[in-house]
Amino acid sequence: MGDTKINILKYIENKERATIFELSRHLGLSRQAIHGHINDLISQNQIIKIGRSPKVFYQIFKQEPRAFDDKSIQPEQRKIIEEKFLNITPNGQFLEGVNGFLAWCNERDLSISKTSLQYVEISNKYEAYKNDGYIDGMYKLKKTFKEVFLEKVFYLDFYAVEIFGRTKLGQMLLYAKQSQDLKMINKLMEEIKPKILKLIKLEGVDAVGFVPPTVKREIQLMKELERGLNVNLPVIKLEKVKTEVTVPQKTLNNLADRISNAEHTIISTDTRVFNKIILIDDALGSGATLNEVARKLKKNKNAKQVVGLAITGSFSGFEVISEV
């Protein structure tokens, strides 16, 4: 490690955290030069970035020495872990694959060999619900609602699984929404765009609808998704009605309340008629929102058929299928 990088680390350690401006002034180097060294130190896990522009700080990355290595992970397990595992740490590190898995196990003092085997078993269990990369949610909806207005409903992955918690897609969705970080939203987009476009083609839809968000945010995930997908199809106009008190779906536990919420707060202002619409939402819990919006689209004669797609969905409601 060069003298400049050592001096940067010493300064940050002494100050606890520092900005590019402070380092530039202290070391007498240009901000561009400091940026180059900072990027190297981040890639080497020496420091981490805190905050977003214009208030960005850098601090020493402190982690207990790892007591484990990856030698006990078998090749077939490694392949699945590399593809599916994501560990977004409390300090905001984005650790994918085996590196993220090792850190996750290390934090919990777990055996690498036993835990990797366990992860692959659980991963395979949930993968069995996918057909060509999509989870068919119609069984769940038919089990939940007396009348289902969707011809089909899919999601790309489950939101969470036992023991390991949120899936890779579940974590990416959560932090993309909560942080409103365009970098994270773009990562999510890279992950899901090919799958969504493929389903649109497979289903032969002639229009797309995006379920409007409930919570007001400066950066809305569904709007970014609409822009990022850039589907060469008409987009159905759906609006969220403003109410005296904003009540997000996720705060409602009762199914009847969820149905009522969707019924009274989401409307179609479109007069066009389509044969088949694909209705996209970020997450499917009970399915009340997608089902109710599909009902409205059919009642308004916007669509003869409606296909639902959620980025993630809950496993609740699929338990019986696993025994068949």
Cα 99–chain centre separation: 19
Confidence of residue 48 (pLDDT cuts 50, 70, 90): confident
| CATH C-level class of 130-323 | alpha beta
For residue range 272-302, what is the model confidence (pLDDT) as tens digits?
999 999 999 999 988 888 999 999 999 999 9
Q: Do domains 3-60 and 130-323 have the same CATH topology?
A: no
In the DSSP assignment, the letter for residue 206 is: S
Mean pLDDT in the chain? 86
pLDDT tens digits, 118-127: 999 999 999 9
Least confident of 41-55, 251-265, 287-301: 251-265
Nearest in space to 91 (alpha carbons), one of 52, 48, 56: 48
The band of 253, judged by pLDDT with boundaries at 50, 70 and 90, is: low
- pLDDT at position 321, please? 35
Query: CB-based contacts of 7: which residues, under 8 Å, 6+ apart?
Result: 27
What integer is the mean pLDDT of 49-55?
81
**Per-residue pLDDT tens for 129-147?**
999 999 999 988 998 888 9
Query: Which pLDDT belongs to residue 201?
Result: 95
Domain ranges across the chain: 3-60, 75-127, 130-323
Assigned fold of 3-60: Arc Repressor Mutant, subunit A (1.10.10)
Length of the chain equals 324
User: For position 322, what pLDDT does the model report?
Assistant: 32
Mean pLDDT, to the nearest integer, of 147-153? 96
